[in-house]
């Protein structure tokens, strides 16, 4: 075993060592808790953590059989997920004393696979745009993104190897981009959402954060039930489409340079690397995603809107008013347009295994009063396509920059396998 501190081990490597009992879950947990103690006073990635309970649970894991592929791995759980043994506030004072009666299905699956829940990570208010206190671990003056802000920041700062997140617009890929970690948003419908605070039936997706593709895929294997994700195989050279999207003009110089660097590195190595044509019959996906999200969130949060409006942030109240102005008839039409767009988008994969696209407009913005723009994520989320953010560069201010790979819906294994192939070459 190397001399790398335990809390800096990538999840897949730590999982191997834990399974062979070459390291103990309690020692890994203690190393992660020490890092939390050292850094979270200024980073604010966690909203709730109980160190004594964590260590007791780790000792119990060490004393018993290896329980599964996540045995002994510390896991951060976004505070949008119900947890039976920890408070769950959904980022809102409305639920400050909420104690769920059961784990969210995804949390239960992770525990069944041996994961050790280290604590609840900060979410924005109901996973919308009103931020929590979390800061970017690379520069505390900058946002970590949202809404899965605490999960991305904690993984980036070596407080834990894995974390759960959700994406309704860009809440996995954008914070992964700003914090410089791998974020995996599965295909729509692959991961159960029971016990996760509902925002949008059409858009909500549960996913994972790790410091490598193998890490995010390992957690993804448990979440999706596809064990192949936990053992990605070597691939032949993939077919890659370059997809700048109709919003390319909004990408700043750092993102454009990352795109050109990726193209230069991959061109002699990929089986195909060429521009992907954007289907001319696709509607404005960004506008459509906003309409679907605002309508569904205004209804999913009806209790909070009716009974606790005064405890909602102004941006949340504005979103609800916007969503309530959309009729059910218009929403039904929007869903039909979305379904047609999903069929049209499939044509982009006729000659490509994956698409490379921007993850964000650029580096994490200065300030923590906002979480940045999910512009380059909204369309892929609306289409239900699986996405993986790959960090591999830095911008003009020394903050992380990367790109996302997008796969055909339901083809998550191929996406992650190609993502590993691409990431290894981009990191060179």
Report residue 183 as tokens. Answer: 């974020």
92 catalytic, yes or no? no
Q: What is the DSSP letter of 369?
A: S
Q: Which of 106, 151, 171, 360 is catalytic?
A: 171
Dihedral angle of Cα 48, 53, 58, 62, to the nearest 10 degrees: -170
Q: Which of 147, 187, 294, 359 is catalytic?
A: 147
Helix or strand holding residue 355 (H, E): strand 354-358
2 catalytic, yes or no? no
Residues 193, 204: contact at Cβ < 8 Å? yes
Residues 241, 233: contact at Cβ < 8 Å? no
Report residue 86 as tokens. Answer: 């920890």
Residues 6+ apart with CB under 8 A from 155: 76, 161, 162, 163, 179, 181, 209, 210, 211
Collapsing DSSP to helix, strand or coil, 206 comes out as: strand
Longest dimension (CA), the chain: 61
327 catalytic, yes or no? no
Helix or strand holding residue 387 (H, E): strand 387-394
d(CA 424, CA 428): 6
- What are the start-end ranges of the E strands in 122-192? 162-167, 182-185
Active site residues: 78, 147, 171
């Amino acid at each position: 075993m190397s001399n790398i501190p335990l809390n800096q081990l990538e999840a897949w490597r730590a999982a191997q060592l834990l399974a062979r009992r070459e390291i103990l879950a309690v020692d890994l947990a203690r190393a992660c808790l020490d890092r939390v103690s050292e850094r979270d006073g200024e980073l604010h990635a966690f909203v709730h953590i109980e160190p004594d309970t964590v260590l007791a649970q780790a000792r119990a894991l060490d004393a018993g059989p290896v329980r599964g592929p996540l045995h002994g791995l510390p896991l951060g759980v976004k505070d949008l997920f119900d947890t039976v043994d920890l408070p769950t506030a959904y980022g809102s004072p409305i639920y400050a004393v909420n104690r769920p009666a059961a784990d969210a299905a995804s949390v239960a699956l992770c525990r069944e696979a041996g994961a050790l829940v280290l604590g609840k990570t900060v979410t924005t208010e109901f996973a919308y745009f009103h931020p929590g206190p979390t800061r970017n671990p690379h520069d505390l003056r900058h946002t970590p993104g949202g809404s899965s802000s605490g999960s991305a920041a904690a993984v980036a700062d070596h407080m834990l190897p894995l974390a759960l997140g959700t994406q309704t617009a860009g809440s996995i890929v954008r914070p992964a981009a700003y914090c410089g970690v791998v974020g995996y948003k599965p295909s729509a419908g692959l991961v159960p959402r029971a016990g996760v605070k509902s925002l949008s039936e059409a858009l909500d997706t549960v996913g994972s954060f790790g410091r490598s593709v193998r890490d995010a895929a390992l957690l993804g294997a448990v979440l999706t039930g596809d064990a192949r994700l936990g053992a990605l195989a070597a691939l032949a050279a993939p077919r890659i489409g370059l997809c700048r999207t109709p919003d390319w003009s909004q990408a700043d110089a750092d993102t454009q340079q990352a795109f050109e660097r990726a193209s230069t590195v991959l061109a002699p190595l990929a089986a195909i690397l060429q521009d992907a044509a954007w289907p001319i019959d696709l509607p404005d996906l960004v506008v459509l995603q906003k309409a679907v999200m605002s309508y569904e969130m205004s209804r999913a949060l009806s209790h909070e809107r009716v009974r606790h409006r005064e405890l909602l942030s102004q941006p949340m109240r504005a979103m609800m008013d916007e969503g309530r102005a959309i009729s059910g008839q218009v929403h039904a039409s929007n869903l039909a347009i979305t379904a047609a767009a999903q069929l049209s988008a499939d044509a982009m994969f006729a000659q490509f295994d994956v698409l490379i696209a921007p993850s964000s407009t650029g580096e994490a913005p200065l300030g923590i009063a906002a979480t940045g723009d999910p512009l380059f994520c909204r369309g892929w989320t609306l289409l239900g396509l699986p996405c993986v953010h790959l960090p591999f560069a830095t911008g003009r201010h020394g903050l992380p920059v990367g790109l996302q790979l997008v796969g055909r819906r339901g083809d998550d294994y191929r996406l992650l396998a190609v993502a590993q192939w691409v990431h290894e070459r981009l990191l060179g």
